Amino acid sequence: MKKRILGLGLSILVAALVVPGCPPVEVEVPVVEPVYTIRVVVHGGIADPFWLAVKKGAMDAAGLIPEVEVIFAGPTVFDFEEFMAFVEAAIVAEPDGLIVTITSYVALDEPLRRAIAAGIPVIAINAIDPRQVTDPPAMIPYLTYIGECHYSIGALVAKKMLEMLEEKGVEPKRALWGNHHPGAFHLEERAAGFIGVMEAAGIPAAQIDVTPCPVVGAELLIAYLKVNPETNMIQPAGTPFAETFIVRAIEEGLDPGEDIFVATIDLSPIVLDHIEAGKMLFTADQQQYLQGFLSVVHMYLHIKYGFMPPPLISTGEALVTAEMIPEVRELVEQGYR
């Protein structure tokens, strides 16, 4: 009995110390359970820093909207068949909204129309149904497309290269565009934009297949330069290819930033180093964090309030040049770019 009284007394003492002098106030924190499930399916790879930023955008948006649960999926590395399996699985799960990359409008036409007919609203990100531009009535009837305009970003790279060469007082002679997935619509469109602007400026431009391997790609670009030594503008095919190409170009006795001018699309720490060191002119940034973030926000607003987003939301074809590097590097490390 004595022990019990002692124990009770100690408990009261501890309670008094822990909650000094004020009566307990019960604060009711409303716990909101997610009521809307939004599935995001991308063509990957989801381990790629590029897609990690898209995922972060989608998850950050979900974090701000407690009613929303986001499930993000895609193949580890680019694999179209696996991506299609993820899309089918997402449709079968009957989410409240589906956000998807239109990697192939032909392959996705039937399943997405089926999903939309079943009442699942769809938003396209990153890769567009090209018919939205060429033949709008025939396009997959998704709510909106959020991402880069592929042709425009290719054209932007060409315009900025020409502009920077003019500033440097260098005559543009020939341009080259590397493509690591020939036949992929968005890459072909980017190439068309780049070549279109170059040719309109009277500069010969070509596209070559650099294969998915950056080691082989660098050799192929160098081989092209041997045949066409007047080439002084190159977009090697994304960041891994820019990284290997710069090394090979220097080895071949070229001086990137002086006699050959390199730009690319997307960001990587090594590419930022090259831009800072003057070996590359710039990189184009499609701000993919916004593709994840805005798509979830617009999907939520549509599901809950029926708002209709504008049919095309460009995430902005931004450019990263040398003077922007410190700020951008911090954002890359934080996973926003």
Partner 1 sequence: MNKVGAAIKKAVQISPLQLFSRMRGYPGFGVIIATLVIFLTFSLLAPDTFPTLRNLTGIFTIVSELGIIVLGVTFLMISGEFNLAVSSIYAFSAFLFATLANYLPSPLALLITLGVAGFLGLMCGVITLRGRIPSFIATLGMMLFIRGVLLGITGGRSITYGGDAIVPTMLAGLLDHGFRPSHFWFIGLTLLFWFVLTRTRYGNWVFATGGVEEVARAMGVNTNKVKLINFTISGLLAGLSGVIVLSRFGLASPAFGIGLELEAIAAVVIGGTFIKGGYGTIIGAFLGTFVVGMMRVGLILIGAPPFWFQAFVGALLIIAAIINIRLRRLEM
Residue ranges that bind partner 1, judged by CB under 8 A? 45, 47-50, 52, 76-77, 182, 208-209, 211-216, 218-220, 222-224, 226-227, 239-240, 243-244, 247-248, 251, 268-270
Nearer to partner 1, 269 or 311 (CB): 269
**Alpha-carbon span 152 to 197, nearest angstrom:** 10
Copy the structure tokens of residue 108. 């996705």
Residue 300 beta carbon to partner 1: minimum distance, rounded to whole angstroms: 28
CB closer to partner 1 out of 67 and 79: 79
Query: In this complex, which beta carbon is closest to partner 1, that of residue 50 or of residue 105?
Result: 50
With contact defined as beta carbons under 8 Å apart, do 186 and 127 qualify? yes
Smallest gap from Cβ 159 to partner 1, in A, equals: 26
User: Smallest distance, Å, CB 63 to partner 1?
Assistant: 21
Integer Cα distance of 314 and 110 in angstroms: 25
The rounded distance, in Å, linking the Cα atoms of 80 and 263 is: 27
Q: What share of the chain is helix, strand, coil (3-state, %, to 5)?
A: 50, 15, 35
CB 200 → partner 1: shortest distance, Å? 23
* 11 or 76: CB nearest partner 1: 76
d(CA 64, CA 68): 9
- Please, what is the minimum distance in Å from the beta carbon of residue 139 to partner 1? 28
In the complex, least distance from residue 333 CB atom to partner 1, rounded to whole angstroms? 11
> What CA–CA distance (Å, rounded) separates 160 from 166?
10
Residue nearer to partner 1 on the CB measure, 60 or 209: 209
Q: Which residue lies nearer to partner 1 by CB, 213 or 312?
A: 213
Asked if residues 158 and 281 have their Cβ atoms less than 8 Å apart, the reply is: no
CA distance 99 to 101: 7
Q: How far apart are CA 164 and CA 160, in angstroms?
A: 6
CB 115 within 8 A of CB 317: no
